[in-house]
Amino acid sequence: MNTHELVNIRKRIMFVKADDVYFIAYNLLISLYELKATSTSRPFRDYRKLSFLIDFVADPRLTAILQDSKRFGIPPNSEDRHELSVAYSRGASRMPHSMRVICALESRGILSIERGNQSEGFDLWLHVEKLPGGFLADELYEVERSNISTLRAMWPQLRIVRLDTMLQNFFGVNGVEAWHA
Amino acid sequence: MARLIVRKLRYRGRRFSYESPTLLDGINILEGPNGTGKTTFSELLYFGLGGRVESFQRNAREKHAEITSDTENYVELEIEAGGNPFKLRRFIDTNDVGIEDASGRVEVLPVIRSQTSPRTFSDWLLERLQIEPVTVFAVSDYSGKISFNDLARLIYHDQSPDPSGIYRAADNTSFVSDSKAFRKAVFEILAGKSFQELYASIARLKDLEKKRVGSANTLETFKRFIDDVRPNQEDLNLIFLERRIGEVMQQLERASEYRKTLTKMPQRNAPIDTRTRKSELLSLEMESTKLSRQASDLLSELGRLERLKSELILEVTQIRKMIFAHDKLNLFSTNTCPYCLREVDRELNRCVCGSAIDESKYEKFFYDSGEYLTILKSKQRNVDTIDDAIGSCQEEMGEVERRHTALAERAEAIKTEIASLVENSDALVDISKFDEIDQHILTLRGDLASLEQQKELETRRQELEQTHQANEVLYEAALAQYNELQAKADREMAAQRQKFSAKYDELMRLHVQGCRTAGIDSDYVPILNAGEYREASAKVPKRLFYYLTLLYLSLDDPGVGFPRFLLIDTPETAGIDLANFIGCLEEVRKVVDSTNPPECQVILTTGIDKYPPSCRDRVFATLSKTHRLLRPRQEQLNLSGSTRD
């Protein structure tokens, strides 16, 4: 096995999808776009919410758990609770990576960051025109668009609610303790 | 009939004694004035023959002074009865007679009958005299056995205090022994020949009548008992009962057989089959459970694999999306500054910071499209691997399900089979049939028990009927025999009465001047001149000739019962003159001497010379005031020879 093959194997082993910058990037961009945070007057409040939101946008099963729980008022089973708990942990641990991706996107002028008035985190909005044409509308991201639409339908204030409120809605009411301050 | 002869009389006491000379056949006379012991002689003789003499009793009102004052005194008689000699000894004031036969064998018999000693001296004596000690029914059911002492009322002619009576007073006066029936029986036995037989038949008849009435009453009581106990029972005789019992037993046998077949049919095989099948079913179910668990495990595994697959597919899709985003946005590369995140121009084998590096070992955070594709391919291979795993898992699952289905089908088949067996066994073993047959058997057993009981009662009833019938037959036979004997006895007695009356008439007319006709009526009571003659002078001959006529009959026909023995104690009483009295005694002599040698014995006590001259040589002892019958022992030793011996 040559050195190149060894490097490839190592990189493959070290690959963590959830923390991958492009994974974070496309989910984040689609979310902002679908939540219509596309101008300074409609910012997405508190970027930290995006770090937790990404898993739900990427995985329709997680969205379905929230949807079922909210629709029937029945707390999720232990397996689903476990899934939610893992999603919460991933959201929390993804936070620095998310910030890096946001910064990279800002440096390319794709979104703007602004210290919010009401929240501890930054507010941000998307510059759709800075994105390559057809990127956000590509059918490849159909699932993600559908998921964020579903979440928005459930919580129309998702764009502007506080991080605590969203965490309570996503995890707390479903039996997963959200300890994030 | 057999004769009674007294050969000798002895009296022995500590103070007095007497011994007669040998007494002969024919007339034996003891003469003496009044008060010298003539009556004592007769009484001693009678006492010796088992008779009751009141004056010999020490507690009597008018007791015999010498005898009751004497001690260890007894009477001893030497007699001949039925041709055999015996010596009889009876102590004064006792009721036992010792009998010694010629061989010296001694038997002691009581005078009085009791439960402990049913055989008496009288029975023995009558046996010797060939007279049956028959039972005579006096009044209703009251009866008594004739004894020698009863017969002696016409054998022992005592000094009657009432000479008008013919019979000597009974030893023990009772309404039985003194009844007319008893008196008639005494006469008939002594004067007749078939009367003993007749009286025996009467006794038997009475006995049988008692049995007949008894068995009739028992039968009647038993019938009433049966009617009371089983009022609605069908009246069946033993034959019908046994037939009915046989039928019920057959029914019972058939019912038992049927029950046996019911018991055998279903129970021999069914439980074994069910057990085998149940056991098979159990192992199938255990196998099925194992398979279910395996299927469940496989399902879980399949679930996990499916989830893994879908996660992988999702990841693969997301990597594609990431490649697309990378291609479109190109946000990060190995030339991106980690601080400002801007693209820099970097030399080959140099880091962004300018340090020399091995490009192949250059650690970077970012992947290029090629690397993403490699990861994608790797993930896709993983998906293929999982697909393989899912495939084999599904295959295994299919196998498990197939086996499970087969097991379920087999189990179902066994269940159906068991259900069918159970259903069939239910059809075969109909419990209600058991109930029916058990009830039937129970009823039959009840019937049988009832019939057996009825049979037992019927058997008893039949026995009673048979006993009663036998008693009836015996009674009828005895009655016929009695009637026959009665007729015969009546005929014979009529002849005897005629004979008796003829002789009696002859004697009476010869010695009673006013007597024109004399005879006896149907009760054997003397009738003089058709009952009109009642002169006192007739009393002595009337009684004496009555006894004498009986003796005459026995001499004329030895078949009659009279034992041809007369004991006459001083018959002269007031109202008869000496000549007539002697004439009467002459008649006695004539009768006695009618056979030669004489075939009878008469012992007569009388006053000095108060007997016919022809009888002078028949005097065996003469008593006087100085020569009394009982003499003190010392005196007797000194005096001897005044007797015939």
Nearest by CB: A26 against B322, B360, B365: B322
Banded model confidence at residue B450, pLDDT cuts 50, 70, 90: confident
Q: Identify the residue whose tokens are 């009295």.
A: B581
Subunit contact A22:B374, Cβ cutoff 8 A: no
* Residues of A whose CB is below 8 A from B314: 58-59
**DSSP states of B504-540 as a string?**
HHHHHHHH-TT-S-EEE-TT--EEEGGGT---GGGHH
C-alpha to C-alpha distance for B513 and A174, rounded to whole angstroms:
171
* Residues of B whose CB is below 8 A from A103: 341
Q: In a structure prediction context, what are the per-residue pLDDT tens digits for chain A, which is 181 residues long?
A: 666 677 777 777 778 888 888 999 999 999 999 999 999 999 999 989 999 999 999 999 999 999 999 888 888 999 899 999 999 999 999 998 899 899 889 988 999 998 876 656 789 999 999 998 888 999 989 999 999 999 999 999 999 999 999 999 999 999 998 776 5
Q: For B81, phi and psi rounded to 5 degrees?
A: -130, 125
Q: Is residue A181 part of a domain?
A: no
Q: How far is A113 from chain B (nearest CA, A)?
A: 15
C-alpha to C-alpha distance for B303 and B299, rounded to whole angstroms:
6
Q: For A73, phi and psi rounded to 5 degrees?
A: 70, 20
Contact B103, B118 (CB under 8 A): no
Spatial CB neighbours of B37, under 8 Å, sequence gap ≥ 6? B18, B623, B628, B629, B630
* ipTM of this complex prediction, to 2 decimal places: 0.91
Return the higher-pLDDT residue of A36 and B278: A36
For the record, the structure tokens of A18 come out as 């959830």
Q: How far is CA A138 from CA A17, A128, B193, B320, in A?
A: 21, 14, 169, 12
Banded model confidence at residue B253, pLDDT cuts 50, 70, 90: very high
Q: Is residue A142 part of a domain?
A: yes
Nearest by CB: B331 against A4, A105, A140: A105
Q: How far is B361 from chain A (nearest CA, A)?
A: 7
Tell me the residue type at A54: I
Torsion of CA A101, A102, A103, A105, to 10 degrees: 90
Q: Is residue A21 part of a domain?
A: yes
Contact A24, A144 (CB under 8 A): no
Residues 367-396 of B with CB under 8 A from A: 367, 371, 374-375, 378
Q: Is residue A179 part of a domain?
A: no
C-alpha to C-alpha distance for B163 and B322, rounded to whole angstroms:
180
Subunit contact A17:B367, Cβ cutoff 8 A: no
Of B113, B16, B33, nearest to B608 (Cα)?
Answer: B33
Pairing of strands B142-145, B156-157: unpaired
Contact A25, A105 (CB under 8 A): yes
Subunit contact B329:A135, Cβ cutoff 8 A: yes
* Helix, strand counts (H, E) of chain B: 13, 16
Of B639, B629, B567, nearest to B20 (Cα)?
Answer: B629
Banded model confidence at residue B269, pLDDT cuts 50, 70, 90: very low
Banded model confidence at residue B426, pLDDT cuts 50, 70, 90: low
pLDDT computed for residue B644 by the predictor: 41
Could you list the residue range(s) of the whole structural domain that residue A48 is in? 3-174
Question: Going along chain A, which residue ranges are E strands?
Answer: 111-115, 122-126
Contact A110, A126 (CB under 8 A): yes
* Residues of A whose CB is below 8 A from B333: none
User: How many domains are there within chain A?
Assistant: 1
For A138-181, write each residue's pLDDT tens digit: 998 999 999 999 999 999 999 999 999 999 999 999 999 877 65
B314 touches chain A (CB under 8 A): yes
- Cβ–Cβ pairs < 8 A, chains A and B: 73
C-alpha to C-alpha distance for B460 and B254, rounded to whole angstroms:
31
Cis peptide leading into residue B118 (ω within 30°): no
Torsion of CA B548, B551, B552, B558, to 10 degrees: 180
C-alpha to C-alpha distance for B131 and B148, rounded to whole angstroms:
9
With 0-12 / 13-18 / 19 or more C-beta atoms within 10 angstroms meaning exposed / middle / buried, residue B562 is: buried
Q: Is residue A180 part of a domain?
A: no
Identify the contact set of chain A against chain B, taking CB-CB distances under 8 A: 3-4, 7-8, 11-12, 15, 17, 20-23, 25-26, 58-59, 100-101, 103-105, 107-108, 110, 131-132, 135, 138, 140-141, 143-144
For B121-164, write each residue's pLDDT tens digit: 999 999 998 888 777 776 666 777 888 888 888 898 888 756 55
Looking at the predicted structure, is the pLDDT value of residue B302 above 80?
A: yes
For B586-610, write each residue's pLDDT tens digit: 999 999 998 888 899 999 999 998 8
C-alpha to C-alpha distance for B298 and B256, rounded to whole angstroms:
62
B361 touches chain A (CB under 8 A): yes
Banded model confidence at residue B201, pLDDT cuts 50, 70, 90: confident
Q: Is residue A94 part of a domain?
A: yes
Q: Is residue A136 part of a domain?
A: yes
C-alpha to C-alpha distance for A52 and A44, rounded to whole angstroms:
14
pLDDT computed for residue B642 by the predictor: 44
Contact A122, A116 (CB under 8 A): yes
Pairing of strands B601-606, B565-569: parallel
For B305-349, write each residue's pLDDT tens digit: 888 888 888 888 888 888 888 888 888 777 777 777 777 888 888
Looking at the predicted structure, is the pLDDT value of residue B268 above 60?
A: no
Subunit contact A26:B325, Cβ cutoff 8 A: yes
> B514-549: b or e for each residue (b if 16 or more CB lie within 10 Å)?
ebeebbbeeebebbbbeeebeeebbbbbbbbbbbbb
Q: Which residues are A107's β-sheet partners?
A: none
Q: Give me the helices (H) in B268-368, please.
A: 270-329
* Residues of A whose CB is below 8 A from B342: 107
The crossing angle, in degrees rounded to 10, of helices B270-329 and B369-428 is 160
C-alpha to C-alpha distance for A90 and A125, rounded to whole angstroms:
23
DSSP state of B343: B
